[in-house]
């Protein structure tokens, strides 16, 4: 079982470049989300989706775009990378609401120079 797969694992960008972090899950989960993890800040929600075609903003959405064209995929786009976006990014999925546990990908370590 692959679970939640994130690519790439590491990436270095220059300020102003754009890129897409890929996330795919093979568990037919409705809910997918993106977090960033920074020292002392815990996990902060960037964007989430409750199903194909439905996305919404989380706590820190500025500078990021998402789309959900299929149940399986939930890419995160950095439009114009800034040093403040240097972080570790986690994609997660969850079958539904309430009691369902959230499953995480292994993370993408992103550095913006």
Q: Interface with other proteins includes 41 (CB under 8 A)?
A: yes
CB of residue 80 to other proteins, shortest distance in Å:
27
Residues in the chain, overall count: 113
Q: Does 61 bind other proteins (CB under 8 A)?
A: no
Cβ(4)–Cβ(104) under 8 Å?
yes
Taking the complex as a whole, how short is the minimal distance between the CB of residue 97 and other proteins, in angstroms?
A: 4
Contact flag: residue 65 with other proteins (CB under 8 A) = no
**Residue 1 or 40: which CB sits closer to other proteins?**
40
Of 32, 24, 33, 21, whose CA–CA distance to 1 is shortest? 24
Q: Which residues contact 61 (CB under 8 A, 6 or more apart)?
A: 46, 47
Q: Which residues pair with 94 in a beta bridge?
A: 31
Sequence-distant (6+) residues with CB within 8 A of 105 are 3, 4, 5, 6, 23, 90, 91, 92
Given candidates 24, 31, 68, 81, which one binds other proteins under the rule CB under 8 A? 31
By CB under 8 A, is residue 56 in contact with other proteins? yes
103 touches other proteins (CB under 8 A): yes
Q: Which residues bind other proteins (CB under 8 A)?
A: 30-31, 33, 40-43, 45, 48, 50, 56, 58, 88, 90, 92, 94, 96-99, 101-104, 106-107
């Amino acid at each position: 079982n692959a679970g939640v797969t994130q690519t790439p694992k590491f990436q270095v960008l220059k300020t102003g470049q754009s890129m897409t972090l890929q996330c795919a899950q093979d568990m037919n989960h409705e809910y997918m989300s993106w977090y960033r993890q920074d020292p002392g800040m815990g996990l902060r929600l960037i964007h989430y989706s409750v199903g194909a075609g439905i996305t919404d903003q989380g706590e820190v959405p500025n500078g990021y775009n998402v789309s959900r064209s299929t149940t399986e995929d939930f890419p995160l786009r950095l439009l114009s990378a800034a040093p403040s976006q240097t972080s570790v990014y986690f994609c997660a999925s969850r079958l539904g609401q309430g009691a369902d546990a959230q499953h995480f990908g292994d993370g993408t370590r992103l550095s913006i120079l």
